[in-house]
Chain A
Amino acid sequence: MIRQTIQLSLAIGFGAAPLAAQTIAITGGTVFPVVGPKIDRGTVVIVNGRITAVGAGVVVPAGATVVDATGKWVTPGLIHADANAGAGVRGLGGFGEDSKQGDFNPSFSVAPALDPDAVGIPVARTGGITTGVILPGGPFVSGTAVAVDFAGARTEDLVVKTGAALAINLGDGSKGAGGGSRAGTLARLKTLFADALEYDRRRLEYRRAATQSFSAPVAELEALLPALRGLQPVLITANRKIDIQNALRLAREHRLKVVLRGAIEGWKVASEIAAANVPVVLQPNVDIPSFDGLGARLDNVTLLRQAGVKVVIAQNDPGGERSLRYAAGNAVRNGVSWDDALRAVTLWPAEVFGLGQYGALAPGRVANVVIWSGDPFEFSAAAEKVFIRGVETSLRTRETELFERYRNLPPSYQSR
């Protein structure tokens, strides 16, 4: 019974299928495997969408397409842990798909609404982003996250994993869900958790209408169960110190696999977060005080890292999704090590969201690989080639065509 429920909730059926079968060898570049030290003049071999070999002395297989990356930097594709591309029209007001009305929607997943033709998808790729985690938005329990690769013709091609995390908001924006107080929000959440577990224990009686009524529809309560069993990460938005501490208490009391999101005042309780072994997804450039996080400061990531917290860097600018790499660069500017910043946009988001085959250049991993002209965090560098599941993707965007049309004025209006 339990297993059946989990399968339903996680909606397995999507998965990183190769887009086409071929063998590629990327040679001569400075390779950053992330799970090991950087390799000068390294080779990365890709077969049928997976990485099969990484190293300095790797033999290029016969028949491989050789991509010369001499002088270039080779990294795993970046994973954007708070992505939008594909979930609506590039964040155009009123055209988003990532939230649903109401405040208790644990069963909501944006996956079926993802549009492989969205113009934002190739834009994300130009930023070296191969994979995104699209989080549901909402004031309280907003649904589950879906992980996607930014390539493919059909929605099923994009989706890597549904139910990658259950998203809960305990920040300032959640107070309405609790009648106007954080205390009410927490109490409501605990009631919902209790109801979900009670429903699970007494399904038979429920069908006979022999239980008291629950505080939410059972289809929604059921969607909480994977998280309550510790099988699904619970992404909790919490910025103020006390919200973070409440999230940590919740994790202890209910044995949840909590991931913090936001954590503006995380630095104040960095050791507590580290002790709880809770990772954090945050935007490193948040430093403007609000009453949700008066302690906002640019060295938040640095202080969290110093305490040993696993940090995932995200960036949620309007239209600025491709700027994830600059957010990582800014984290370095503000004291984080370069290697940690790379982990924070590759390996760590993969680990946090259960994408075990992602986020590194190592045999067996999904071949999401980016060849950069230089340091990926620098403005002077660009993603020159982006491979997703072993296939080179196009970096032409709608913007490219606009530029080409207006490069010389007045435009000729002749198509190229």
Chain B
Amino acid sequence: MIHLKVLAVALAGAGLTADLAAQAPTAERNTDTLSIDRPQYPSTYRRRPNPPVVVRNATILTATGSELRNASILFQDGRITAIGDVGQIPAGAQVVDGTGKFVTPGIIDTHSHIGVYAAPGTSAEQDGNEATNPVTAEVWAEHSIWPQDPQIPLAIAGGVTVAQILPGSANLVGGRSATIRLVPARTVQELKFPGAPYGVKMACGENPKRVYQNRGPSTRMGNMAGYRAAFIQAEQYRARWDKWLKDRKGDPPARDLKLETLAGVLRGEISVQNHCYKADEMAQMLDLAREFGFTIKSFHHGVEAYKVGDLLAQAGTAASVWSDWGGFKMEAYDEILENLALLTKAGVRAVLHTDSPDGIQRMNQDAAKAMYAGIRAGIPISRDQALRWITANPAWVLGIDQLTGTLESGKMADVVLWSGDPFSVYSKAEKVWAEGWLVFDRLDKTRQYKTDFNLGQADPGVGR
């Protein structure tokens, strides 16, 4: 019974269980002949062994509601072991003076195309949109990611430790996302965050209907009909497989990667990450989710999310939004600077995302813009709340909030040391640790990773 459950999850392709599937006991009959019983592109990321680290006498923003002054943080073996007063410093620990500096969790971006739209921006590297069909749930972003994208070290220098890499928004259903660590790597598998569930990119509005205007969908109602048709098929597919998996008798149903992903959504194993600008369309998508019995984990680019904060809070759907981007297309016309503050006030899990290889380098700055816009509008937003927009809340959207996104004992040591208040324009990420591994040090050239692409031609020059 246990192995059936594992298989069912593996069928959905969730990365968390793909590792388990690889080690699962061989099923009784002929299962080794089925692809679904084999590893589904597992992560090979491994934490690097590192000495313990203590940052002393810093201002620590935990993203759990507290702001600790003149405090210390200790992490070892990849985990945070003490915050505040760390007591006895372990032998061999690296001690970092944090006087006048700030410590935060590593920043997490729920919306990035790093690796799938890689620099230097040639047509050869445009791997983000499989714009050949309105529903391409069968494609996986991880199969497009180029681990040598020179945008990766730039994002790391901005204090970003984890990002969700999404397919583009040309399609109603664009494919699976990948949650990756931003670390030096040769392969995508070495980047994949172990245990992170998959997401699926869906897109509302202008993009799909523009891309497919000649073959359809060419209208918003066409978009809705397209999602519904796909999920009706997925319901049937899921029922066929669930029936077969119960006793594994007879021939298994034909495997269909597209429907496998959508069935994973219906099973609640794959989270929906929905590009959707407009308030009225968000309400339509929440209805779609109710029709098929799934939840939408986060709307993305929710420029109008502030208009329906109550609906989002009720549905338990997060909103990933920008601080001040808008106006560049009709569905982005009603942007306001108080979006994040109003969403927070409405009880929505508010997330600041970037969708930009530039923006991802300065997410602390965008959080600052939105925090001060809220404060100016009379909505009190604390630094800790603003920090949650770029740490704890995105961790929840990616389903890794039990592991990272806050500074708490037991959480992964994804930690950033800032030269000053991270909500000041003048502050820089000085050191960045990914599960205890010092992946960036502004003061040490040898700790400034260059991709293969950078070598011999493009020095990122972040070291000042």
Contacts and interface: CB of A to CB of B under 8 A. Distances in A.
Interface stretch (B78-86, B90-98, B193-201, B336-344): B336-344
B424 A378 contact: yes
Contact of B369 (A332, A334, A379): A379
B459 A92 contact: no
Given A295-B459, A406-B342, A409-B309, A302 B337 contact: no
Given A319-B332, A332-B426, A287 B154 contact: yes
B372 to A, nearest CB: 5
A333 B462 contact: no
A295 B464 CA distance: 16
A5 interface: no
A14 interface: no
Interface string A397-415: 0010011001101110000
A320 B424 CA distance: 18
B410 to A, nearest CB: 33
Interface in A373-403: 377-380, 382, 399, 402-403
Interface string A285-310: 10111110011111100100000000
A322 B324 contact: yes
B120 A379 contact: no
A334 B464 contact: yes
A288 B458 CA distance: 9
Interface residues of B, number: 54
A333 B442 CA distance: 13
B425 A287 contact: no
A64 B139 CA distance: 69
A330 interface: yes
A25 B307 CA distance: 42
Contacts of A326: 365, 369, 425
A339 B234 CA distance: 61
A137 to B, nearest CB: 15
B334 interface: yes
Contact of B425 (A120, A289, A322, A377): A377
Contacts of A205: none
Given A318-B328, A319-B327, A335 B458 contact: no
B328 A294 contact: no
Contact of A289 (B150, B306, B464): B150
Most buried by A among B328, B362, B371: B328
A288 B338 contact: no
Given A287-B461, A291-B120, A378-B425, A403 B325 contact: no
A401 B130 CA distance: 39
B461 A297 contact: yes
A251 to B, nearest CB: 27
A29 interface: no
B377 interface: yes
A163 interface: no
Nearest to B151: A288
Nearest to B332: A319
B119 A288 contact: yes
A37 B53 CA distance: 45
Contacts of A93: 328-329
B458 A289 contact: yes
A255 B327 CA distance: 41
Interface in B185-209: none
B120 A287 contact: no
Contacts of A323: 324
Contacts of B309: 409
A154 B424 CA distance: 39
B120 A380 contact: no
Given A294-B458, A379-B368, A302 B464 contact: yes
B425 A295 contact: no
Interface of A: 89-93, 120, 285, 287-291, 294-299, 302, 317-320, 322-323, 326, 329-330, 332-335, 377-380, 382, 399, 402-403, 406-407, 409-411
Closest 4 CB pairs of A and B: A297-B461, A329-B425, A90-B327, A319-B327
Given A120-B327, A322-B324, 15 more contacts: A90-B328, A92-B333, A285-B361, A287-B462, A288-B154, A289-B453, A290-B121, A291-B122, A299-B461, A333-B426, A377-B425, A378-B424, A380-B368, A403-B337, A409-B346
